[in-house]
Chain A
Amino acid sequence: MSGVRVLVGTRKGAFVLSADGTRERWDVSGPHFGGWEIYHLKGSPVDPNRLYASQSSGWFGQVVQRSSDGGKTWEAVGNKFTYDGVTGTHQWYDGTPHPWEFARVWHLEPSLTDPDTVYAGVEDAALFRSTDGGQSWQELPGLRGHGSASSWQPGAGGMCLHTILLDPARPGRIFVAISAAGAFRSDDGGRTWRPVTRGLRSEMLPNPTAEVGHCVHRIARHPSRPDVLFMQKHWDVMRSDDAGESWREVSGNLPTDFGFPIDVHAHEPETVYVVPIKSDSEHYPPDGRLRVYRSRTGGHEWEPLTDGLPQRHCYVNVLRDAMAVDALDPCGVYFGTTGGQVYVSADAGDRWTAIVRDLPSVVSVEVQTLP
């Protein structure tokens, strides 16, 4: 029977949650790298035993860990992230120029075809790539060299490149999202980039429809339709049907215009999940009720999913990288909270149960579907 492996990054270490295809009984392994912030772990789609993890600390900086046995053992690989060429400046929170400074790796995206190739989205925002299994890292400088880069500003969590989407149909096409610079697309393997933000509207910007400056929280898509993108933005859920050339709002009846994660059902490209959060500064579920919202129509019409989720006195957050889906049938949906719970629904969101309830604050959740 096939199974799943859930890779959980927390503020105090990594955890690996494993189950067979029923997704009822779970084996919990960890903490790995206890005491360190694990921003993200992800497995290679072509070699599920090859995992990469971003391990970071305000004291000791960045470490990248690699596993070749599905997370049983790990080895530290390269952690030298040096910006290419002149570092330059971006804008600080107050609008003054601020030099680009590497802080940490937010997101690791293994190649769709080569287990030794992996992309890293970092803070301050830049895209790096390794082609030797993480031993060495080279910046793809065209992104940071975009003419708008000196005007990029950090969001509340830092100026992080948090989303990397590799196109399975067009090998040279890459999407990235940066808080709070926006969304960018490359069609030449990361050499050149352009903003893909037409249609985005952010009322708090001096120019609400500016080309850059939107606080994009997450972009997701179904691999069978790489041109159809769904975005959770700071203000509104958006959809693009033309690979980001244009966007339209599909927030519909969602109870808030804010949230972090967004994901797409593994077998239904029009079924989308979000977790509405109250903002601007509260960042917890409205009314103390933790609800995942599901749209089966690609947006606009959303239904709350509450069975098994706390519906009173719940004030956790669900961060941008903390939701994932498996490829089983029915599709499993997973998310982790800042309160340390990791929830699973083995029936596409109808019913939820906590795999674990008392982990450190969850930063990221990824799922591997194993043969």
Chain B
Amino acid sequence: MIRVVLPPHLRTLARVDGEVALELEGPATLGSVLDALEARYPVLRGTIRDHVTHRRRAFLRFFACEEDLSHEPPETPLPPAVAAGKEPFLVVGAMAGGSGASGVAPPRGRRRRAGLRRVLGAVVAIGTGLAAGSAWAAWTSAMRQASGEVPPPQAE
């Protein structure tokens, strides 16, 4: 059994509370967990990765046991603790505020907050070399730079 933590908006879309539990047939890989997630919740197709290319959406990241799997190929095995259901697989939306961007609220709950703090630290470190705990502005900037994409302007 694989535990998956989704961003709040995707939990709402999939009409689930809390973590998602998935049973996988075969090896637990990055691709197989996403396949199983989309098979169980077809409404999530296209919201995490592209329908056709299966490319990860630019403002989402994948983490497991504090490892950033966002840029790994789909056949990448998940850590044993995730495959065993001891730790969750995290689908994380970038934190962002201002400039018309629709921010993603942090997950609720002590455990998820702790997990998210670890993820934030990891991503900021990856994105900019800054230490965890930097200002939100630096985080936002880091995510945008790391993703290589900025949401399109809503300039009208």
Interface string of B72-114 (1 = CB under 8 A from A): 0000000000000000000001100000111011000000000
Number of B residues near A (Cβ < 8 Å) is 27
Contact status A157-B153, CB under 8 Å: yes
CA gap between A122 and B59 in the complex, in Å: 21
Interface secondary structure of B, over-half rule:
loop
Contact check, A103 vs B152: say whether CB atoms are below 8 A apart: yes
Q: Is the CB of B13 within 8 A of A63?
A: yes
Q: Is B16 an interface residue (CB 8 A)?
A: no
Q: Which of A76, A158, A260, A319 contacts B13, CB < 8 Å?
A: A76
Contact A58 B102 (CB under 8 A): yes
Per DSSP, chain A at the interface is: loop
Instruction: Let me know if B128 is at the binding interface, CB within 8 A.
Output: no
Given contacts A35-B9, A36-B9, contact A60 B47 (CB under 8 A): yes
**How many A-B residue contacts, CB cutoff 8 Å?**
70
Q: Are the CB atoms of B46 and A80 closer together than 8 Å?
A: yes
Query: Is B93 within 8 A of A59, CB to CB?
Result: yes
Q: Which of the residues A11, A36, A61, A62 comes within 8 Å of B100, measured between beta carbons?
A: A11
* Interfacial residues of chain A within 48-94, with CB under 8 A of chain B in the complex: 57-63, 76, 79-80, 82
Beta-carbon contact of B57 and A157 below 8 Å: no
Q: Is B7 an interface residue (CB 8 A)?
A: yes
Query: Hey, which chain B residues are within 8 Å of A58, CB to CB?
Result: 59, 101-102, 151-152
Among B13, B47, B59, B156, the most chain A Cβ lie within 10 Å of the Cβ of B156
What is the CB-to-nearest-CB distance from B38 to chain A, in angstroms, rounded to a whole number? Answer: 12
Q: Is the CB of A60 within 8 A of B45?
A: no
- Would you give the 0/1 interface string for A319-346, flagging 1 where the beta carbon is closer than 8 Å to chain B? 1100000000000000000000000000
The answer for the CA separation of A56 and B79 in the assembled complex, in Å, is: 33
B3-23 interface bits toward A, Cβ cutoff 8 Å, 1 = contact, 0 = none: 000010110010000000000
A-B residue pairs in contact (CB < 8 Å), sample of 20? A11-B102, A11-B154, A35-B9, A35-B102, A58-B101, A58-B151, A59-B94, A60-B7, A60-B10, A60-B13, A60-B60, A61-B57, A63-B13, A63-B46, A80-B45, A103-B152, A156-B153, A157-B156, A158-B153, A320-B156
List chain A positions with a Cβ less than 8 A from chain B: 11-12, 35-37, 57-63, 76, 79-80, 82, 103, 156-158, 260, 283, 317, 319-320
A-B pairs, 5 with minimum CB distance: A58-B151, A156-B155, A60-B47, A59-B59, A157-B156
